[in-house]
A = this chain, B = another copy of it.
Amino acid sequence: MTTTLDFEQMLRGAALRVTRPRVAVLSAVHALSHADTEAIIGVARQDLPKVSHQAVYDSLNALAAAGLVRRIQPPGSVARYEARVGDNHHHVVCRSCGRIADVDCAVGHAPCLTASDDAGFTIDEAEVIYWGYCFDCSPEGKT
């Protein structure tokens, strides 16, 4: 498993100060998958009962800016965070229940798609969200 020391080293490696809220938040993101801020606050408070929600927001922003966690914001949902970074994977979202699952990117590096016409933009990443229904919510799954 990943220990507190590992998280501290991850923080130092990203030139971030090692604080207890940051360690707790980083640990929480690793323990959960696609968690929203509220869930992260809950888990972080198991370790550190008095962290303020503001500290969690600040930590998440710092961790996301440093690339230690990835922020995903599926339309119709609050911001979510995940620990898988660097492999440019994508997500599939259930239209019915909102469940999110990971989908590996066939290309593996960003940008994994080339736009047909970039409208003058310099594109460095292509984010793909697949929409559909998870097994439990799919019409076939209900028969």
Contact = CB atoms under 8 A, between A and B. Distances in A.
Interface of A: 71-73, 75-76, 79, 90, 92, 94, 101-106, 111, 113, 115-135, 138-140
Nearest to A71: B75
Given A128-B113, A128-B126, A131-B127, A101 B75 contact: no
B104 A92 contact: no
A138 to B, nearest CB: 5
A72 B115 CA distance: 18
Copies of this chain in the oligomer: 2
B122 A133 contact: yes
A122 B101 CA distance: 12
A129 B127 CA distance: 5
Given A115-B92, A128-B127, A121 B104 contact: no
Nearest to A104: B116
Given A92-B115, A104-B116, A73 B72 contact: no
Contacts of A125: 130-132
Nearest to A132: B123
Nearest to A79: B75
Contact of A115 (B73, B130, B135): B130
Contacts of A104: 116-117
26 contacts: A71-B75, A73-B73, A73-B75, A92-B118, A92-B119, A92-B121, A101-B120, A102-B119, A103-B115, A103-B118, A103-B119, A104-B117, A106-B116, A113-B128, A118-B130, A121-B130, A122-B139, A122-B140, A123-B130, A123-B132, A124-B131, A125-B130, A127-B131, A128-B128, A128-B129, A129-B129
